[in-house]
Amino acid sequence: MRNITGTPVENDDFFDRPRDLDRLQRDLANGENLLLTAPRRVGKTSLVLRLCELERQAGRAAVYMNVEGCHDELAFAEKIVDTLNGNGLHPELLGRISLVFRRVREAFRGMKMGAAGVDMEMGAAEDPDHSTLGRTLESIFRKIESEENPVLLAIDEMPELLLALGKQDRGAERISHLLHWLRSLRQTYRKHVRWIFLGSIGLDSFVDDRQLGKTINDLTSVSLEALSTGEADAFLTRLAEGNGLALGVDERAGIVRRLGWPLPHHLQMVIHSLIDRGVQTVDGPALDAAFEDMLKPTNLSQFDTWRQRLVEQFGKSDADAARDILRHLCQHPEGRGRDQILNALMSTRPSADPDAVEDQLSRLLQVLLRDGYLLERHGSYAFRSFLLREYWHRREVR
């Protein structure tokens, strides 16, 4: 098992999560379509890549695609076609469709995609050349449905695509269209086509914010947690073995205790930091030094996505308020009550309407809990990860 910090892991680098995989496979076998929700860096992409691998080993087709780089409907459609093609599915049909898409792309060269042409309608595509994008794409699903072999489509980072779409002409309408179209696809072709959606921004919160909840209410929500203490211990044992580190049981427990929240990514980072120091046998002082290294100014950027995401995900007012909440909480490891956080928010917004700020606080706490920033215990809110709390303190307070 190699020490990988950042990119999704596969094959021997993947620490097995049999319980989570079993549950996903069971739900899929029951004909459900899934929405995998979890905070970032919990290991969603890696888990779903393994799921696809297991499906293929069982003789079924499974394709994974990250749609983050797709900025419009056509790019999304092309991604589906290219990925299915790359997996050797229905080459003849897909080849024809690719050609059609290429012509559409040519026709749009230099123009803004938007009003014309890129229509996500459902219906038969007798003549793909003169049909809508949606109908053309649908012909693939009709083909899959008519044959015996089921296909799993794993779609990663869908909200990123929707966010990009939202910034373009008629953005809101196009988001709604695309989501409705996907929903009707799932409902029309439900025997042999399975879907799993995942991503670092929750599709659920994205659609809720836009009153589009009903476009995904057919999906079964499955959550993925960080590792249990036992799993974290086994994970560290394997990582240490794979990287020539002598790491005893007390030191393993010490790492988990210091992290507060055993995210696979953070466990990998600790090991990385130890290896970087040239440590061979890990003891208390070596651990202290490794944690200190991780929080050095030059290394802080590896946590920056946690802060950047707030800006990407929220409008200005919410992003500012979320930042203030977290700046307050990183100074209170023992946690703070809602009223105390509200006071802190009001102190920097003296002329704001307290009721409005309270509403905003409720909403943001909800999201920060769900996205793994915070933990609530008996009405007290605190940073979930001690490491992240320390990072926040260094970035925002001193």
Ligand X SMILES: Nc1ncnc2c1ncn2[C@@H]1O[C@H](COP(=O)(O)OP(=O)(O)O)[C@@H](O)[C@H]1O
- Would you tell me which residues interact with ligand X (CB under 6 A)? 4-9, 14-15, 17, 38, 40-46, 200, 264-265, 268
Q: CA angle at residue 398 from 394 to 284, to 5 degrees?
A: 45
Exposure letters 212-249 (e unless 16+ CB within 10 A, then b): beebbeebeebebbbbeeebbbebbeebbeeeebebee
Least gap, CB of 391 to ligand X (angstroms):
16
Among ligand X, Mg ion, none, the one that 15 touches (CB under a kind-dependent 5 to 8 A) is: ligand X
Place of tokens 């914010």: 209
List binders of Mg ion among 251-310 (CB under 5 A).
none
> Cβ distance 182 to 80 under 8 Å?
no
CA nearest to 12, candidates 1, 23, 28: 1
Nearer to ligand X, 43 or 254 (CB): 43
CB nearer to ligand X: give 212 or 271: 271
Provide the token pair at 108.
Answer: 């749009």
Which residue type is seen at 351? S
**CB nearer to ligand X: pick between 209 and 225:** 225
In angstroms, give the least distance from the CB of 37 to Mg ion: 12
Whether 279 contacts 244, CB under 8 Å: no
Among residues 3, 33, 37, 45, which is the contact residue for Mg ion, using CB under 5 A? Answer: 45
Quick one: what does residue 144 bind among Mg ion, ligand X, none, with the CB cut-off 5 to 8 Å set by partner type? none
Residue 254 binding result from ligand X, Mg ion, none, given CB thresholds of 5 to 8 Å by partner type: none
Phi and psi of 328, rounded to 5°? -65, -50
Q: Which is nearer to Mg ion, 63 or 240 (CB)?
A: 63
> Which residue is it, tokens 């439900």?
190
Tell me the C-alpha distance between 306 and 301, whole Å: 10
Pick what 14 binds: ligand X, Mg ion, none; C-beta below 5 to 8 Å, kind-dependent: ligand X
For residue 132, state whether it binds Mg ion (rule: CB under 5 A): no
What one-letter code names the amino acid at 269?
A: M
Residue 4 site contact among Mg ion, ligand X, none (CB < 5 to 8 Å, cut-off depends on kind): ligand X
By a kind-dependent CB cut-off of 5 to 8 A, residue 265 interacts, out of ligand X, Mg ion, none, with ligand X
For ligand X, give the closer residue by CB, 202 or 254. 202
**R_g of the chain computed on alpha carbons:** 23
Pick from 33, 84, 47: which is nearest to 194 by CA? 33
Is 45 or 273 the residue whose CB approaches Mg ion more closely? 45
Segment interacting with Mg ion, rule: CB under 5 A, options 37-45, 134-142, 310-318, 330-338: 37-45
Nearer to ligand X, 6 or 337 (CB): 6
The residues binding Mg ion (CB under 5 A) are 45
